[in-house]
Each structure stands twice: as structure tokens, then as C-alpha cells.
Structure 1
Amino acid sequence: MMGKRNQPHRSENITVTLEQLVPADHLVRKVDQVMDSQFIYPLVEKLYCENNGGPSVDSVLLIKMALLQYLFGIPSMRKTIQEIETNVAYRWFLGLGLDEKVPHFSTFGKNYVRRFQDTTIFEDIFYKILTQGVDAGFVDPVVLFIDSTHVKANANKLKYKKKHVRRAARFYHDELEQEINDDREAHGKKAFYPQEEGRE
């Protein structure tokens, strides 16, 4: 006999937590176990006004959104935000409830420009996170590609690792800035061009 399934569960109300919905062996759980994101707050604290304006989007949330894009090879931040809206594992990683709104791309872009323009802070944060991944064995610096080409090896393995990770962080940073600039220009806004000081 052929079975036929109807769709009664689409509107079913159940009690469940994000913790229950994310598989124990999911990559976001493994990253969460070794990633210490608390170092971000003191690094960005000086970029915020202490006594003016309302609360901003959490800086760790912004960085983790970028990390999801990088980890899962999502082609753009706009697409990443769309994926976060429906992916419970991504929401768990970000600490967003099922009923919480994911920051819009324009919100992400505005916060990125206001906080990180003319600084290397985003790149520095991303470098430290990638370094944590390398140290935990999740990322092999030997296979980090920069614009589809390998970075030449160096006899000093520590320097070699740092060079690979630093260049990977910078490459991602530049791609993200380009996407934000493209969006700004598409909406009639002036693109920003960060300073190059402090880069290797």
C-alpha cells in the first residue's frame, strides 16, 4: 500500500529548545567549544560612545555572523543573513532565539562601517579567531587559499602559520568591505575606503 503524508505538523505548537535541535556533532558546537569570543568586547569598547545613543547590535554577534559565512563558504553576507533566518544551528551559535529578528544586511553594513572603518580591528579579531581554530586543529593553515593561490612556505613554521592566517583574515576582510561598498553604491551612498596603515 502506498503511503501518503499530509502536512499537519506545519502549524503544530510544540515545546522545544534550540539546544535540542542542534546535533551534538555539528560543526558550530565544536567551534563554540574552543572559541573564546569574550576577548572581542574590550577590543571594540573604545569604538562605542559611553553616554550617547541606544544600544547597538552586539559586536560578538556581528563577528560570529561573519565567521559563519567564512566557515560554511556562503558566497555573501546578504546570503548568510538569509541562511541564519532559517537555520537553527546558526541561530544557536549566535544565541538568537527562533523568534528573534536577524540583523538586516544594511544594519550589519552600517555597524561595520561605523565601528571598523579606518581600523584593523575587524581583521585583528578575525585573525585571532582563525588562530584559535588552527590551534584547536579545525583549520590547517597549509590549505588556506588566498585568491585561489597558495602562500609560499617559510622555513619558520610558526611564522608560516601566522602569515597564512593573517592573509586569510585580510582577504576575507577586503571581500566583506567590497560587498558593503557595492551595496552602498547600489543605494546611492558613497563608498568608503579604509586606510591601509598598519597592514603587513
Structure 2
Amino acid sequence: MESFVPPNHPLRPIRILLDEALKNLNWLFDGIYADSGRESIPPERLIRAQLLQVLYSIRSERQLVEQISYNLLYRWFVGLTIDDKVWDHSVFSINRDRLLDHEVIPELFSEVVSLARKRKLLSEEHFSVDGTLIQAWASQKSYCPKGDDIDPPSSGGRNGGADFHGEKRSNETHESKSDRDARLARKGLGKEAKLSYMGHTVMENRNGLIVKAAASHATGKAEREVAVALLADIAGSQRRTVGADKNYDTARFVADCRAMNITPHVARNDNRVGGSAIDGRTSRHMGYQVSQRRRKRVEEPFGWGKTIGLIRQVKVRGLAKVNSVFMMTMIGWNLTRMRALME
């Protein structure tokens, strides 16, 4: 199979990095599958296949399995020979859920970040945080009053319409029958509300690598609350800085950051009631201006994940599965960035 893949193909360095990260997870893989029973798909191949899905914008697992069967590049990356039989897409889905049960994707994400740290590609002092809406795999017609088992009014047909005109709907009183973890949310005033999740990242400012990532319910406070939790999980006690947009300019977020010895370089929102929580002692320094310029790069992984990756609209349901897809997409971003930085 090696002879079919050009020596300078961009997947080669990504596979080397991924293989190094997977080696450190052998202790976890050994306990995933039972010694007896029906033969399962090796977890390493599952992970490589999911990464291919992210890197090549493959929209479904059925299409992924089909392309692995006839694409020699994909076979080589996953670790299959020309004669190896490719698994059925339903078997792939079942085995993927086993990775979810053993929290393999978060462990792999941590290993990839450790690889970047080992290669001195990370800043340990300067970070940026942000969140993005991820459209859920559920329609507005599934959003019904809680406890209501009656289908919404429809005009008939296989995908009939429904009239919600004049109906007040909120996350306190309604939920999606298709995905109960999804929440109605919108990007801003005047924007349409959609059933969504939120993805959160902490980016180191030197090279734009993601050091922490998580998905959550789409609520008004989720961006700040999850950001605090992710920042608290970063090792080290030295003074650090964190850049963020105006949505993070609240007294609670600023106080939480300072309690963790983190200087909040948050964009000032002088129009909020009571004024900005960031005073002149922070915003007057040159470091604050640098953080405000660098923090804009935190949008790049989101843009990449929604155009190349799988997070514009996820094809799974439930917070745990959405979190797995989001973290795998950020793994793909990190490996792609690391490949570029090491060239």
C-alpha cells in the first residue's frame, strides 16, 4: 500500500502524528473489547476512519465506509490492505459508540495536545476563548411543549409543514422530540433561532492550536461558564492571560479569571448596564492590545470545522455524541496545523 501513496502526500505527516498519539493509548484500547464474542473493529482503525471523515468532509458513515472500500489512500490511512474486507456501516456505528462509552476521543485530544507541547508548539501563558453555535440534527417541527406526546399540527405529506405563528416557544416550556439535549438559540438580535448546541475552545495564542475543547447545551451563560471550567483545567500556576470578545465582559467571568491568576484581556463592552468590567488598569497595557488582535484567530478553527469538518450541522443526537464529534473535529484542526508548523 505504501507504493500507492506519494511520499509528499499531506496525509503522511498527519498519520505519523496520529500514530504517535495512539501508541500512548494502548492501555485504554486493551480494555475496550472483550476477549470473546463477535470480532470487533480495532479502535485504532475506528479513530483513523473518523479522522478521515473530518479531513475530507465525508457527510455520513455509510459514505465513509463506501469510500474506504475503493479508495486506496483511505485504506492505507486506516491500516487496511487491498484484500481486507471493509466493515458494514452499521457495525461501524455500533463500535463507534463503544469509543464513546470509554471516553477515547477526549483522551486522544489530550495526547495530541501533549504532542504539540513536546514539540514546543504551544504557548503556556497566553490564551483565547470563544464559543460557536452548532446546528442540531432536529427540525423545528420536533420542538413541542414538554410532556406533550401529540405531534404538532401538519399539513400532511411525508414532510408536511406546521404553523407555529403566534405560539410562544422557549426552552423552559418546550423541548425537541428528536433530540432532547438540543436548545433553541440564535446568533444575535434579528437572527433566526435554531435548535443548537454550543462548541467551546481554549486556543493558545502563539500558533492557534486548541488546547481545550468541549460541547455544551446552548444557553445564554454557557460560553462564560464552560470557558471558566476549561481554563481551570489547564495545568500550571504561573500568571496567564486570556483574550475574549465582548460577550465575556461580565463581572462574574472577570472575577473567576482573576481568582485563577489569569488576567482577563476581554474586549470592553461600554454599552452594557453599569459599564465594562474591564478597567483602565488592564486595557492600558500593550499586552491587552496584542491579546485583542490574537484572539480573533480563535474563529479560524470554527470556520474550518464548519466548512471542512463536521460541525456546521452535526449528524448525531445527544450531547455526548455531539461532544465527541466536536472534539474529533478539533483534533483534525490541531493535526493539520501541526503538520503545517513542522514543514
TM-score relative to the length of structure 2? 0.37
How far off is 1:68 after superposition? 0.7
SS in structure 1 at match of 2:210: helix
Equivalent residue number for residue 97 of structure 1:
81
Equivalent residue number for residue 131 of structure 1:
113
Equivalent residue number for residue 179 of structure 2:
none
- Structure 1 or 2: larger helix share? 1
SS in structure 2 at match of 1:47: coil
Runs of 4+ in 1 over 3 A off after TM superposition: 116-119, 128-137, 144-160, 171-176, 192-196
Query: What one-letter code is carried by the residue in structure 2 that aligns with 1:107?
Result: V
1:20 and 1:74 map into 2 onto residues whose CA distance is 25
Shift of the 112–40 alpha-carbon distance from structure 1 to 2, 3 Å rule, reads same
CA contact (8 A) 2:132 2:200 kept: yes
Equivalent residue number for residue 46 of structure 1:
31
Shift of the 87–151 alpha-carbon distance from structure 1 to 2, 3 Å rule, reads same
1:83 and 1:56 map into 2 onto residues whose CA distance is 20
Alignment pair present for 1:120 and 2:169: no
Structure 2 residue runs without a partner (length 5+): 121-126, 135-197, 216-300, 302-308, 323-343
Shift of the 155–21 alpha-carbon distance from structure 1 to 2, 3 Å rule, reads closer
Instruction: Tell me the alpha carbon deviations over residues 30-62 of structure 1, each in whole angstroms, 9 at most, x when there is no partner.
Output: 212222122233113223224x32432111001
Q: 2:211 aligns with which of 159, 162, 166?
A: 162
State, as a whole percentage, how many aligned pairs show the same letter: 23
Instruction: Mark the structure with the bigger radius of gyration.
Output: 2
Instruction: Tell me the alpha carbon deviations over residues 103-152 of structure 1, each in whole angstroms, 9 at most, x when there is no partner.
Output: 11111111122x23444323432x24653786679xxx99x995579967
CA contact (8 A) 2:204 2:210 kept: no
Alignment pair present for 1:58 and 2:42: yes
CA contact (8 A) 1:61 1:94 kept: yes
1:33 and 1:46 map into 2 onto residues whose CA distance is 24
Structure 1 residue runs without a partner (length 5+): 1-17, 182-191
1:90 and 1:157 map into 2 onto residues whose CA distance is 32
Equivalent residue number for residue 22 of structure 1:
5
CA contact (8 A) 1:34 1:132 kept: no
Query: What one-letter code is carried by the residue in structure 1 that aligns with 2:28?
Result: L
Shift of the 96–43 alpha-carbon distance from structure 1 to 2, 3 Å rule, reads same
Equivalent residue number for residue 292 of structure 2:
none
Q: Which deviates further from its counterpart, 83-92 or 153-162?
A: 153-162
Shift of the 53–154 alpha-carbon distance from structure 1 to 2, 3 Å rule, reads closer
Count of residues in correspondence between the two structures: 157
